[in-house]
Amino acid sequence: MQFDPTPLPVPAPDEKPGQSDAQLLQQLEAELDARPASQSPAVVVAFALSCVACVGVFGMMLKRAHPPAPPVASALAAAPIPTSAPAPAWVSWTFNFEDGQNLARASGKKMVVAFYADWCPSCRWMGSSVYSRPEVQGEAASFEMVKVNSDARPDLAKRYNIRVLPSFVWMNAESDEIGRHDGFLPAPEVAQWLRNNR
């Protein structure tokens, strides 16, 4: 059954001289009852209320998905924008396990192998917020830092029994595991872990 949004004119009752108000009301009710059910006033009102409710719910969902940006303080808005900002420093990574081994052998440093995956949110968080911290960069300089995508290198993930991402395996240049940590670590704990495993 389709809803027809065009309003139907209410037919004027055929007034007959001497007809009472009760009779006129009865005649109007009979004519309204003759309408199809989809055009009854109750159906129209219910449809209109459901449309309003849907718009309200959709609006609330949009507000939750995209909260308004916080207002910028006037002092910050008036602050001059620097013309050049220092680029963030990052841990120097080797993305090939075998190259990392060769670098560790040549330098005499131990390796830290960080196992990650592109789909891992904690791995991405560490990449953007942990490895850029000065305390992590300072400690990482004592190691050959190697990143291994566990999806691209399932052989290494199996060899080092990687079950959780991110996972950090501390090893010597011969790839013998000396220590490990499985799971996310905030920057101060990463720096402390590196310091303790020099």
What CATH number should be reported for the domain holding residue 112? 3.40.30.10
What pLDDT digit, counting tens, does each position of 80-133 carry?
Answer: 544 444 444 567 888 999 999 999 999 999 999 999 999 999 888 888 888 888
Which pLDDT band, with edges at 50, 70 and 90, does 76 fall under? very low
- 54 and 97 co-located in one domain: no
- 110 and 176 co-located in one domain: yes
- 26 and 99 co-located in one domain: no
How much is the pTM? 0.54
- 60 and 114 co-located in one domain: no
The whole domain housing 28 covers 21-65
- 46 and 133 co-located in one domain: no
- 100 and 186 co-located in one domain: yes
Here the tokens at position 101 are: 């081994």
Among the candidates 65, 82, 117, a domain finishes at 65
Residue 112 lies in a domain: yes
Residue 15 lies in a domain: no
What pLDDT digit, counting tens, does each position of 5-48 carry?
Answer: 665 555 555 555 566 667 766 776 676 666 565 556 666 666 66
Domain count, the chain: 2
- 59: Cα within 13 Å, side-chain hemisphere: 6
Specify whether the CB–CB gap between 183 and 122 falls below 8 A.
Answer: yes
C-alpha to C-alpha distance for 103 and 176, rounded to whole angstroms = 15
- Using the 8-state DSSP alphabet, how is residue 143 labeled? E
Residue 126 lies in a domain: yes
- 60 and 101 co-located in one domain: no
